[in-house]
Chains A and B, each alone.
Chain A
Amino acid sequence: MTAQLQFRNLTLGYDRHPAVHHLDGAVQVGSLTAVVGPNGAGKSTLFKGVVGVLKPLAGRIERNGVDPQDIAYLPQIAEIDRTFPISVYDMVAMGLWRSKGLFGGIGAKDRDTVEAAIEAVGLTGFEQRPIGTLSGGQMQRMLFARLLLQDARVIVLDEPFNAIDAKTSADLLALVRRWHAEQRTVLAALHDLDVVKANFPEALLLAREPVAWGKTADVLTNDNWVKARRMCEAFDEHAQACVAAA
């Protein structure tokens, strides 16, 4: 087994306050890991660190040769301007950025790829609709189609199934399993523990500091949850400098 992502004493946070504190461990190549934990546990912060949006306060992340820009990332709250006059098709086609860059043309073969991605998420017939007319679930389907086109070795999904109905979640979960079957490394933050137990072989329980990390069944125990809740204290305005940071 080789590590796709290796966290070494990683501390991430905002304004010197840690949101992820002293995380050590590895995400193996081709693993499918659920990141769980209470609100404010640092799940989104960890993902921002993984994709390079947030620089570590201490420690480091090794990505095994994968450039942060080649990691496909679905943020929890996308900064999408829904009033922008762009079609579903064009939005999905943006997923080809890595292969096309600034100027690459989109040929007949690429158009087939885009069509296939739109079909895979069940949005056939919506190609020319402006993105502003999509429902929340359709929007998420569209973003998954774009992720498909990104064709990334590492995929990071921040609460992808929030406020999404059961049918849509099931369809999108099928895509996640397909990525897993294709040996891609997938990290997803989730709140629905039944979904985690049914679909994710591995789990990381985070509460600012890692509580447990390993086989999902071993991680999601009552003891661990109690521990996680206790550790997830509030942000302390007057916290002292961390001794372990040195």
Chain B
Amino acid sequence: MREDAFFPLPQGERVTEPAANIVNMLYDTLIAPFADFEFMRRALVGSFALALGAAPIGVFLMLRRMSLIGDAMAHAILPGAAIGFMIAGLSLFAMAGGGLIAGFVIAVGAGLIARSTELKEDASLAAFFLISLALGVTIVSVKGTNVDLLHFLFGSVLAVDDPTLLLIVGITSVSLVVLALIWRPLVLECVDPGFLRSVSRAGGMAHIAFLALVVMNLVGGFQALGTLLAVGIMMLPAVISRFWARDITGMIGVAVGCAAFSGYVGLLVSYHANLPSGPAIILVAGAIYAVSVVFGPVGGLIWHLLPQRHLEA
């Protein structure tokens, strides 16, 4: 029992028999923080929504060898959000709007240049996000305000309010619908882009829509986790999934499950150990990653080390 806890125990009816102590303890550890505090419930719902939207996007980014693109996009969003902050203060919609605009301009611009010149997507995106970052920093310094950007960099999932929660859930809903609509060309563009080009012009449209989804989910994620860690809830579960599933449907299932689990456990860890919540969530995902690399049934390291007889055929 946590009599010395910072937060008071709930006053509800409690089981007291010795045999049931363990039940109380589990309740206190795993459920009470969410049952007792609204900000924990909001944070949990926010994390689950992020997991549902961002993890499938991360799987596609990984399969297209664009794992680091999310990182670049997150940097690209930061100046837009900062400009929104300067114009309208800590307004959710100014910051989200600024981030979305900056992200869209850079994603679409880089995509178009990659398609019409010899530059590969990553090269053109690198050029764009560096320009965007420099531009953002310049604008901030010319304005002369000493903006506290810690909130942008690391977010605060525990401070998620109703409008933010609605924004995150809205972005997740849109993501899932759009992903369902562009599923076929998206998969085909990953596995055989030449064939897709030869049968349809949908590839370019699907690609732009996909980049837009990446930007939207990063903007949703940065409200809660900050620009630096929003990429984490997108990419880490995706990378983990490769060690547990062989087909894309299974990978997305594993990724979403991992992301949601990391959100839940990360919030618990941050609550009980008084750690910052965003990094705690990502660190839990990191721990799952470490376990997966070693023990994952699809190509985990341990299978190389264990002597295994080869099969008959």
Contacts and interface: CB of A to CB of B under 8 A. Distances in A.
What are the 4 A-B residue pairs with the smallest beta carbon separation, nearest first? A84-B191, A79-B194, A97-B199, A80-B192
B194 A85 contact: no
B120 interface: no
A94 interface: yes
A102 B192 contact: no
Contacts of A26: none
Interface string A89-118: 001001001100111000000000000000
A99 to B, nearest CB: 11
Interface in A129-153: 130-131, 146, 150
Contacts of B145: none
Interface in B223-249: 245-248
A69 interface: yes
A241 interface: no
Contact of A81 (B182, B184, B185, B192): B192
B141 interface: no
A150 B185 CA distance: 16
A130 B198 contact: no
Interface in A46-92: 51, 53, 69, 71, 73, 75, 78-81, 84-87, 91
A203 B243 CA distance: 51
B200 A87 contact: no
Contact of A69 (B63, B188, B193, B200): B200
Interface string B171-198: 0000000000110110110111111011
Nearest to B59: A85
Given A81-B191, A102-B184, A97 B247 contact: no
18 contacts: A71-B198, A73-B198, A78-B195, A79-B192, A80-B192, A81-B190, A84-B63, A85-B245, A85-B247, A85-B248, A86-B248, A91-B191, A94-B188, A94-B195, A101-B200, A130-B247, A131-B191, A150-B199
Q: How large is the interface on B (under 10, 10 to 19, 20 to 34, 35 or more residues)?
A: 20 to 34
Nearest to A130: B246
A242 B233 CA distance: 57
Interface of A: 51, 53, 69, 71, 73, 75, 78-81, 84-87, 91, 94, 97-98, 101-103, 130-131, 146, 150
A102 B185 contact: yes
B247 A79 contact: no
Contacts of A91: 191-192
Contacts of A84: 63, 190-191
B251 interface: yes
A140 to B, nearest CB: 14
A56 B91 CA distance: 53
Nearest to B199: A97
> What secondary structure prevails in chain B residues at the interface with A?
helix
Interface of B: 63, 181-182, 184-185, 187-188, 190-195, 197-202, 245-248, 251
Nearest to A132: B246
A155 to B, nearest CB: 12
Contacts of B194: 75, 78-80
Contact of B246 (A69, A75, A85, A94): A85
B195 to A, nearest CB: 7
Contacts of B197: 53
A131 B247 CA distance: 11
A91 B187 CA distance: 10
A81 B193 CA distance: 9
Task: Choose among B195, B201, B202 the residue with the greatest number of A CB atoms under 10 Å from its CB.
Answer: B195
Given A81-B190, A103-B181, A103-B184, 7 more contacts: A80-B192, A80-B194, A81-B192, A86-B248, A91-B191, A94-B192, A98-B199
Contacts of B188: 94, 97
A150 B198 CA distance: 11
Nearest to A97: B199
A132 to B, nearest CB: 10
Nearest to A100: B184
A193 B247 CA distance: 42
Nearest to A101: B200
Given A75-B194, A81-B190, A86-B187, A97 B200 contact: yes
B296 to A, nearest CB: 14
